Structures are given as C-alpha cells and as structure tokens.
Structure 1
Amino acid sequence: MQNNQQHQHLNIVDSLLMQMFGRPKGILGRLGGFILARTKRDFTQWVINLLEVQPDDKVLEVGFGPGVGIEILAATVSRGYIAGVDYSKEMVKQARVRNAKAIETGLVALQYGSVEKLPFADDTFDKALAINSMQVWSDAMAGLLEIWRVMDVGGKIALGFTSHSGQSSTGLSEMLTAAGFTETHLVETDQGFCVLATK
C-alpha cells in the first residue's frame, strides 16, 4: 500500500515537473519559464560561445523555452537570421514577449512546433542549438536527423545539458554520428556539458 502511494506521488511530481520544465504549459509552465530564464542564462551564454556564432550566421534554436538564448543570439547576430521552434505554446508566448523588438525587425522568428518536423528548407542554417531540450523530444534520433537536414554543410550543432537535466553524456556522440554529423566532441563545465558536432 505504501509503495503504491509513493509511486502515485512520484507520478504527480513527474507530471508537475514536466508541465513546468519539460513541455511547459499553463500557470505551472509560466512559472517554470520565469525560473528557467533566471537560472539558465550563464549556461546558455556558455553554449552559444562554444558555437562561435558570427554576425551573419543563420541560427536555429530548438526548444528555446522563455527565449533567453534567442535574446543572447540577437545581440550577436546582426546581418543573419535567428529561428526558434518550441513545443510549448506557453514558452513561445514568453519568448515572443522577451524578443519583441528583434521579431519586429525581422531578425528573429519564433514558432510553435516539433523538432521531428521542422518547418524549414534543407541546408538553411549555419548553427543550431538545443539546451535541456533533447531529453523531452518524443524521438531524439528523428529530431537530430531533422536538424541535420535543415543545416548547411559545415554548420555546427551544440546540444547543451545542465547538471539538473537528468541527461547523461553517454551515447550522445554516437547518436550525432548516426544522424550524419562529424567531428563530435564533449565539453564539460561545473554547470553541465555540451556536445558539439559538424554537418
């Protein structure tokens, strides 16, 4: 009986955490977005630095959350383009508010959608990133194959995970290689890790 109650309690906690941070929605999603925006900025900046984003790059962020990464990218990219896809309508709303000026000028476009069906043409982006996102994709390999498809030859991808993400670095390089990427390497920090690769 007690085990069953503990199991039910864990399921409720998992469900709440998923609503706040995994695929945020509703009031919990809004709260989760504010928490993520405050706690993830330094790590997001670190991942973007690893990508060596240039002013004329076309950059894709998958699972942009409250839009902090998009905001950082918009300060670097002046002649390129930044696109974002997120599976949470609540996060799309928050990120659009956070990046309203850059959206108005046409530098940034953010939309609701899934990594498994990206709404972009082949060979569109020079850089792509996903931070604390891949672990909630419904099909990680399909997502990586889609990112590979929309990236230009020579483009770089960064998959970043904070220490709280629950994601292990084991097997990620092999997944990227299986999706067609090359030159994969792992970079670690006290806040988490990032796997980088090239198309």
Structure 2
Amino acid sequence: MHNHQQQQQHLGIIDSLLMQMFGRPQGILGRLGGFILARTKRDFTQWVIDLLEIQPDDKVLEVGFGPGVGIEILAAAVSTGYIAGVDYSKEMVEQAKARNAKAMETGLVQLQYGSVEKLPFADHTFDKALAINSMQVWTDAMAGLRSIRRVMKVGGKIALGFTPHSGQSSTGLTEMFTTAGFTEAHLVETDRGFCVLAIN
C-alpha cells in the first residue's frame, strides 16, 4: 500500500512538471494550431497580399497577424517602407516575433499586442492594410474598420481576407466598408476563400 502511495505521489510530480513545461493544453494546442495554421494559410495569405500590390516603399499594417506568416511575406516585399502589426493574442505575438526576429532587428517590422479598435498609430500612417480571418473575432467590426481607416493614408488600399473556416459570410461586407467610409469596396473570390478590397 505504502508503495502505491509513493507511486501516486511520483506521478503527481511528473504531472506538475509537464504542466510547467507545456502549460495548459490550450497552450500546447495553441502553439501547434499556430504552426498548422501557418502552413495552410500561407497560399491564401500570399494571394491577399498580391491583391494589395505591395510596393518596396509601402508602409503596411496587418491586424491579427497570428503566427506572422503574412508579416514574413510582407517583409520580403518591402525594403524602404515598414511593416507594423497588432494582434490580440500574446501567444501569437511571441510566435510571430520569433518568426520575424531578423526583420524586427533591422527595424523593418514592428509587432505588438493590441486591439484593432485602439490602434497605437498616428492618423494617415499606412499605404496598405490587411487582416486575414480576423474581423469575425473583433468586438466591434465597424469600430475596427473605422480605426484602420483612421491610420491609413487617403487613397490607401485595404484587404480583408477570409478562408472558409473563418465562418465569415461575404454577405453585406462591401456595404460595411462603405458605411465605414471606404470607397470602391468590392469582393474578390477564389476557391480558397474571399477578400474584400477597398480604397480609403
């Protein structure tokens, strides 16, 4: 009996060590999920970024950058401009920072924790803005769009992309952009998902 108790105690210690190493299951799944997401989303992300026609001197904002794949693609396309990103998940901020460490060291990329409704940037800062599978988790989509519009230059281009697993419907989205003050809002669809493009 005594032996059995010791064994149980021993297992308890191993359990708590595992908890310390890996955090809660959602921590581990969150990280794993991030990596899986990164791969499946790369093609779609590339497609959305292509629609924005990024120039080497563009200042680009990505809202909800997740594991930082889009940031990585943008960093390869921009040389004299810069890329800024905000994400509401501390886990994703850490992952994206690790993925884009070199570009951050040179000052090309700036990533931070934050929400779309309170973007920490001056008015008329960015030429281009994008968000992928992000709007459906914003607390207030209209406030988020207006906030992005505030930090964009006049004539700047915005792209919001959604893959089927985002659960976002394309119905009424272009109207939302128009209500938020954007112009020329239109929908572009592909077999991988859809994107709303608009001009500030």
Shorter chain as denominator, the TM-score bin is 0.7 to 0.9
Does 1:108 find its partner at 2:109? Answer: yes
Instruction: Give TM-score scaled by structure 1 length.
Output: 0.87
Partner of 1:128: 129
Partner of 1:161: 162
Deviation at 1:31, TM superposition (A): 1.6
Partner of 1:198: 199
Does 1:68 find its partner at 2:79? Answer: no
> 2:98, 2:182 → 1: CA distance?
34
> 1:157, 1:185 → 2: CA distance?
11
> 1:87, 1:35 → 2: CA distance?
19
> 2:185, 2:116 → 1: CA distance?
20
Gapped regions of structure 1 (runs ≥ 5): 1-24
> 2:29, 2:119 → 1: CA distance?
26
Deviation at 1:28, TM superposition (A): 2.4
Alignment of 1:76-155 (within 5 A): 76-155=77-156
Task: Report the count of equivalent residues.
Answer: 175
> Match of 2:166, SS?
coil
Deviation at 1:149, TM superposition (A): 0.2
> Match of 1:123, SS?
coil
Partner of 2:171: 170
Deviation at 1:26, TM superposition (A): 2.2
> 1:128, 1:29 → 2: CA distance?
26
Q: What code does the residue aligned with 1:175 have?
A: M
Q: In angstroms, what is the RMSD of aligned CA positions? A: 0.7
Instruction: Give TM-score scaled by structure 2 length.
Output: 0.86
> 1:111, 1:179 → 2: CA distance?
25
> 1:26, 1:172 → 2: CA distance?
33
Q: What code does the residue aligned with 2:27 have?
A: G
Larger Rg: 2
Deviation at 1:161, TM superposition (A): 0.2
Q: What code does the residue aligned with 1:158 have?
A: A
Partner of 1:15: none
Q: What code does the residue aligned with 1:130 have?
A: A
Gapped regions of structure 2 (runs ≥ 5): 1-25
> 2:90, 2:30 → 1: CA distance?
9
Deviation at 1:27, TM superposition (A): 2.1
Partner of 1:51: 52
Partner of 1:33: 34
